[in-house]
Chain A
Amino acid sequence: MRVATGGPGKAAEFWARRGTIVLGGLTVASLAVLVVLGLFVSDPDYQQGDAVRLMYLHVPAAWIAYLAYGVTSLASALYLWKRTRSPAWDTLAGASAEIGVLFTGLTLVLGSLWGRPVWNVWWAWDARVVSTAVLFFLYLGYLALRRVPADPAVRARRSAIAALAAFVDVPVVHFSVEWWRTLHQKGSVFNRELNPTIQGNLAWALLSGVFAFTCLYLYLLERRYQLAVMEEAIEERALEAAIAERRAEADVPPVRVPS
């Protein structure tokens, strides 16, 4: 076992590294538990049959999309606030949004695959479905905006504003089933009015899905953030090299042409 040496910075680095390894292991284990519970242990629903097994992926994917955009918005707000402004918040916002887009895409596709056997349609012009698709394209646009070449501070500022503007759609997605008449069901697990009862092994499969996807999100976020830090360092080095090259060119004395 390696021992942390070299002061608090090194110790923090050591424990952060350990934390990443533990989180990676927990993610793999919890995903394995989800596969076993979701595909083999949980019973078919009395109305939906086996199609209910898509819920164990669709609902956690939607939860991760909310969480990822929440983190993006919080990091963007912290970037915009002068007292907490740091490029690290911008990097975190971008990393989280990318994962959010992945999980929003999965939510839409899984919802479509679930809708076909249950609603008998692949797609419905339903408030929940449409507002989720809008959310997907809003954050896809946010990621595109981040790739537009600009001064890093300018890019970070405009990206932060765009992230906060896009987040307005998150409550619209969430409350769409309350505000409009929709084909999509209302929230049921925590809905007191419905007083829902969800059978034990179905509930455990759903909870394990939420837990596994949360671990996966945290692990991916850490990995994506570290990658962004490295890519920013490479960009900086390339820029410094280009500047040094230009300076060297300027220092070369002009060639005298013999008359």
Chain B
Amino acid sequence: MTDAGYVIGGWTLTGVAIAGYVGRLWARSRRARRFLPPDEQGRSEWM
């Protein structure tokens, strides 16, 4: 593999890992909001 291959692999992997974690947090927050009344949801909105 060339240097560019390692670089692209590393950057892609980092992007996927971060996006995956953000997506997981978002999905869990959405699920949690369904079980709670609005006054107990805190600052749960995303953006």
Say whether, besides A17-B43, A223-B29, A234-B36, A54 and B18 are in contact (CB < 8 Å): no
Q: Could you pull out 12 A-B pairs where Cβ atoms are within 8 angstroms?
A: A16-B43, A17-B43, A24-B47, A38-B11, A54-B6, A61-B14, A116-B6, A117-B6, A223-B22, A227-B44, A233-B36, A234-B35
Complex Cα distance, B32 from A69, in Å, reads: 26
Given A220-B25, A226-B43: A53 in contact with B35 (beta carbons within 8 A): no
User: B10 near A230 (CB under 8 angstroms)?
Assistant: no
The answer to whether A231 and B14 touch across the interface, beta carbons within 8 angstroms, is no
Name A209-254 residues within 8 Å CB distance of B: 216, 220, 222-224, 226-227, 229-231, 233-234, 237
Q: How many angstroms between the C-alpha atoms of A197 and B36 in the bound complex? A: 55
A51 touches B6 (CB 8 A): yes
Q: Is there contact, CB below 8 Å, between B25 and A54?
A: no
A51 touching B43, Cβ below 8 Å: no
Chain B residue nearest to A231 in the complex (CB): B32
Closest to B34 in A: A234
Known: A17-B43, A24-B47, A39-B11. A227 touches B6 (CB 8 A): no
Question: A: which residues have CB within 8 A of B?
Answer: 13, 16-17, 20-21, 24, 35, 38-39, 48-51, 53-54, 57-58, 61, 102, 105-106, 109-110, 113-114, 116-117, 216, 220, 222-224, 226-227, 229-231, 233-234, 237
Q: Which chain A positions have C-beta within 8 A of B18?
A: 216
Determine the chain A residues whose CB is within 8 A of the CB of B36 once the complex forms: 230, 233-234, 237
CA distance A106 to B28 in the complex (A): 22
- For the complex, what is the distance from the CA of A190 to the CA of B22, rounded to whole Å? 32
Which residue of chain A is the closest to B18 with respect to CB atoms? A216
The residue in chain B whose Cβ has the minimal distance to the Cβ of A28 is: B47
Interface size class of B (residues with CB under 8 A): 20 to 34
Q: What are the 5 tightest A-B residue pairs by CB atom distance, in nearest-first order?
A: A230-B32, A50-B3, A113-B10, A51-B3, A53-B7
8 Å CB contact of B6 from A38, A113, A222? A113
Check if A220 sits within 8 Å of B22, measured CB to CB. Answer: yes
Seed contacts A106-B14, A110-B10, A220-B21; 10 additional CB < 8 Å A-B pairs: A17-B43, A50-B7, A51-B3, A51-B7, A53-B10, A220-B25, A230-B40, A233-B40, A234-B32, A234-B36
Query: What A residues does B10 contact at CB under 8 A?
Result: 53-54, 57-58, 109-110, 113-114
Chain B contacts for A116, CB-based, 8 A: 1, 6
CB pair B17 A102 closer than 8 Å:
yes
Given the complex, which residues of B lie within 8 Å of A105, measured CB to CB? 17
B46 CB, nearest partner CB in chain A, Å: 7
Contact of A50 among B4, B35, B43, B46 (CB under 8 A): B4
Partner of B33, one of A21, A222, A230: A230
Name the distance in Å between B21's Cβ and chain A's nearest Cβ. Answer: 6
